[in-house]
Amino acid sequence: MTSITLPAYAKLNLTLDILRKREDGYHDLQMVMQTIELHDDVTVTLTDGDGIICRCGDIPGDETNLAVRAARAFFAETGVAPCGLDIDIVKRIPAQAGMAGGSEDAAATLRALRKLLKPELPGDELERIAALVGSDVPYCVRGGTALAEGRGERLTSLRSAPPFYVVLCKPDFDISTPMLFSRVKVSELWSRPDTSGMLEAMHRGDAGGVASRVKNVFETILPKEYAEVFAIKERLRRLGAEATSMTGSGPTVFGLYRDEAAARAAYVKLSADHAQTFLTRFV
């Protein structure tokens, strides 16, 4: 086998809390993460060349691309002799949307290289390599329902979440993650997620309990110019969503539905006004 195509599933933050600022300048986070069906396709092909070629739509395929960095980390950390690679990424996950699109592509690249070149590599070792690429990449390697702590690299797998359909909407602007973190004063954060309650609801398989605890602390410090995030949340509520939240550092907003027809109706109405609207579900 010299080529393989894998899905790179997007993620949602069902909860996102910021616990403290660390001495290294980063923040300790606590997040319940969930994989959704919306995905990129990542094809990794071994070639006779000696370099890495990466095609990723309108996104640069140079050394700034996380998939390229993931490939280099794989060779450096596993001792596998570097070889020519062709990485082709079909993008569906919006960029800079809070859904870890770049990290998911990097994780799929790592999983593909393990299958092609070192299938005996343990999963925890692949996650260790993933952490060298980016904080979200270990979760993206593992996927599913998980508690992520530290910078996001410390993972605890959870019982699979109850099934939900998801309506996603990305407004026509981006939000800078460093800017949001620069606004964080941990002692002044209010309306924090009930993470322990979320974990208990997950353990019980309690869909209502999960929906009632969806929350992102970043929403409490969003500048006023991003008020459309809250307008979309309110519209999703009026369209019957059981829970609404921004995912990651935004600006994508999601609504959770247990009824597919209600989710589809909401998707149709919202997509009439917002081009980047998607209907998907938990996987």
Give CA–CA dist 15/85, Å, rounded: 37
Write down the catalytic residue from 11, 170, 215, 233: 11
11 is catalytic: yes
CA proximity to 14, closest of 195, 258, 269: 195
The H or E element spanning position 216 is: strand 215-216
The position carrying tokens 């095609």 is 55
Write down the catalytic residue from 17, 40, 105, 136: 136
Identify whether 122 is preceded by a cis peptide bond (ω within 30 of 0): no
32: β partners: 15, 147
Cβ-contact 253, 233 below 8 angstroms: yes
Q: Which two tokens stand for residue 79?
A: 């001792």
CA distances from 145 to 53, 88, 252 (A): 32, 27, 19
CA distances from 46 to 2, 54, 266 (A): 5, 12, 43
CA proximity to 130, closest of 79, 71, 88, 80: 71
Active site amino acids:
11, 136
